């Protein structure tokens, strides 16, 4: 194996084993530290693999912002013509340059700051409804009863989708997450993903046709009408980007809520500080930093990129370890500690950076802030009763599938 870093082959093997072993989804941090320890400037190029692993905050940030680092290359070259690929290809996430700017501009025109700010009352009302339904005297699963339905209902409401289909939408977003980051590639799962992709395409295509003929309130009608220099989203672009909003708006936030609570259960002083000041302005960003619901991002270099001390050649596959960057000790001292007073939490890369910076960041921050303020205010005695909850088999969109808690009631 050729390493630009000078690390020995056995050391690299050991680090990659730590990164990829089956238990790593539960605790990826030792693997990240193993890779970081072999890196120079936060970068570990493995030229024989045509890959580079990036753990450093500065290097991640520079690569995310580099126009030479492309998002769409892997998908453009993906073999086969499946419904899953047909669903992914028109998503803005997998376009670069002018094609990306056009798609993003059309969606952003409908996803305005005013539209997002208007969701505050909805989020508060949904929280009040969901939290009131939780039992005070027995154990309850906070994923099924809060973290999954809350973001799903918010984004469904914004898109103008009917509430009757909630269970189906949650299943679909799970399939998109499994497709984008799942470790399981069994024929059974791939068959389910393909069937769901077919259903999603048919559902959103019919709906878009309906909305073009007869607009109704909601983001989807606005998307159907959004124009850029006289150009509109095609039918495929509209349906794929609606699915992207649904999936991105749901899976990430629904992983952050239990992920944040699990971390807080291990750091009781931080929970006590939150109870003392539930509206602390740093809560969303410090939780985003510590949890990093998107642990990995990926790019392909269309041209060589120079970073301090190393030039990465064109064609390299770039593994951006966002979860490692968010715990880079050079930027975030005592990186594993939740510290609401940290002056630079907002420098996290949980929403990435550059052209693909999360379009829903302000909505996500709003949901996180409101959720943790409501939990800390209403349930200061909240206890996580299963300290080792099961994780989904998805190292990229990392999160638990259940989180058992006892609310202990308001004090």
Binding residues for ligand HEM (CB under 6 A)? 71, 92-93, 104, 155, 244-245, 248-249, 252-253, 256, 293-294, 297, 350-352, 356, 358-360, 363-364
Q: Give min distance, CB of 123 to ligand HEM, in A.
A: 11
Q: Give min distance, CB of 136 to ligand HEM, in A.
A: 28
Q: Give min distance, CB of 106 to ligand HEM, in A.
A: 11
Q: What is the dihedral of CA 159, 160, 162, 166, to 10 degrees?
A: 20
Residue whose CB is less far from ligand HEM, 351 or 372: 351
Residue whose CB is less far from ligand HEM, 41 or 298: 298
Q: Find tokens 């089956």 and name the residue.
A: 22
Residue whose CB is less far from ligand HEM, 56 or 360: 360
Q: Give min distance, CB of 3 to ligand HEM, in A.
A: 26
Q: Find tokens 């302000």 and name the residue.
A: 362
From CA 208, how far away is CA 159, in angstroms rounded? 11
- Contact between 158 and 115 under an 8 Å Cβ cutoff? The reply is yes
Q: Find tokens 């609570």 and name the residue.
A: 261
Q: Give min distance, CB of 63 to ligand HEM, in A.
A: 10
Strand order through the sheet with 383-384: 139-141, 404-406, 383-384
DSSP string, 274-339: HHH-TT-TTHHHHHHHHH-SB-EEEEEESS-EEETTEEEPTT-EEEEEHHHHTT-TTTSSSTTS--
**Among candidates 139, 77, 92, 162, which has minimal Cα distance to 356?**
92
Residue whose CB is less far from ligand HEM, 177 or 197: 177
From CA 239, how far away is CA 230, in angstroms rounded? 19
Residue whose CB is less far from ligand HEM, 175 or 253: 253
Residue whose CB is less far from ligand HEM, 140 or 254: 254
Residue whose CB is less far from ligand HEM, 38 or 366: 366
Task: Tell me whether residue 403 is exposed, middle or buried, using C-beta atoms within 10 angstroms of its C-beta: 0 to 12, 13 to 18, 19 or more.
Answer: buried
Q: Give min distance, CB of 360 to ligand HEM, in A.
A: 2
Q: Give min distance, CB of 302 to ligand HEM, in A.
A: 15
Residue number of the CB closest to ligand HEM reads 360
From CA 242, how far away is CA 159, in angstroms rounded? 8
Residue whose CB is less far from ligand HEM, 363 or 376: 363
CA–CA distance from 38 to each of 13, 14, 282, 399 (Å)?
A: 11, 11, 32, 27
């Amino acid at each position: 194996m050729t390493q630009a870093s000078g690390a020995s082959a056995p050391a690299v093997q050991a680090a990659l084993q730590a990164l990829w072993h089956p238990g790593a989804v539960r605790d990826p941090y030792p693997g990240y530290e193993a890779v970081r320890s072999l890196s120079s400037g936060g970068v570990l190029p493995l030229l024989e693999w045509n890959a580079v692993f990036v753990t450093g905050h500065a290097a991640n940030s520079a690569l995310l912002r580099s126009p030479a680092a492309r998002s769409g290359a892997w998908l453009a070259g993906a073999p086969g013509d499946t419904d899953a690929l047909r669903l992914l290809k028109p998503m803005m996430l997998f376009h670069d340059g002018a094609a990306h700017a056009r798609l993003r501009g059309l969606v952003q025109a409908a996803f305005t700051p005013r539209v997002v700010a208007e969701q505050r009352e909805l989020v508060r009302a949904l929280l009040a409804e969901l939290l009131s339904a939780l039992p005070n005297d027995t154990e309850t699963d906070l994923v099924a009863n809060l973290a999954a339905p809350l973001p799903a209902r918010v984004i469904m409401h914004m898109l103008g989708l009917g509430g009757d289909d909630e269970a189906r939408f949650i299943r679909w977003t799970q399939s998109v997450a499994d497709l984008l980051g799942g470790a399981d590639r069994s024929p059974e799962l791939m068959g389910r993903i393909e069937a769901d992709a077919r259903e999603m395409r048919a559902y959103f295509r019919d709906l878009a046709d309906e909305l073009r003929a007869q607009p109704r309130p909601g983001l989807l009608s606005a998307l159907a009408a959004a124009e850029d220099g006289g150009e509109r989203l095609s039918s495929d672009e509209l349906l794929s980007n609606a699915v992207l909003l649904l999936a991105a708006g749901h899976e990430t936030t629904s992983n952050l809520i239990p992920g944040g609570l699990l971390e807080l259960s291990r750091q009781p002083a931080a929970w006590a500080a939150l109870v003392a000041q539930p509206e602390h302005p740093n809560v969303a960003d410090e939780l985003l930093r510590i949890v990093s619901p998107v642990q990995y991002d990926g790019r392909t270099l269309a041209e060589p990129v120079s970073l301090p001390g190393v030039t990465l050649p064109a064609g390299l596959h770039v593994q951006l370890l966002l979860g490692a960057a968010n715990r880079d000790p050079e930027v975030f001292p005592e990186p594993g500690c939740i510290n609401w007073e940290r002056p630079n939490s907002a420098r996290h890369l949980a929403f990435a950076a550059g052209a693909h910076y999360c379009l829903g960041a302000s909505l996500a921050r709003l949901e996180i802030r409101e959720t943790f303020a409501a939990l800390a205010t209403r349930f200061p005695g909240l206890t996580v009763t299963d300290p080792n909850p099961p994780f989904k088999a998805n190292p990229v969109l990392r999160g638990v599938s259940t989180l058992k808690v006892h609310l202990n009631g308001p004090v």
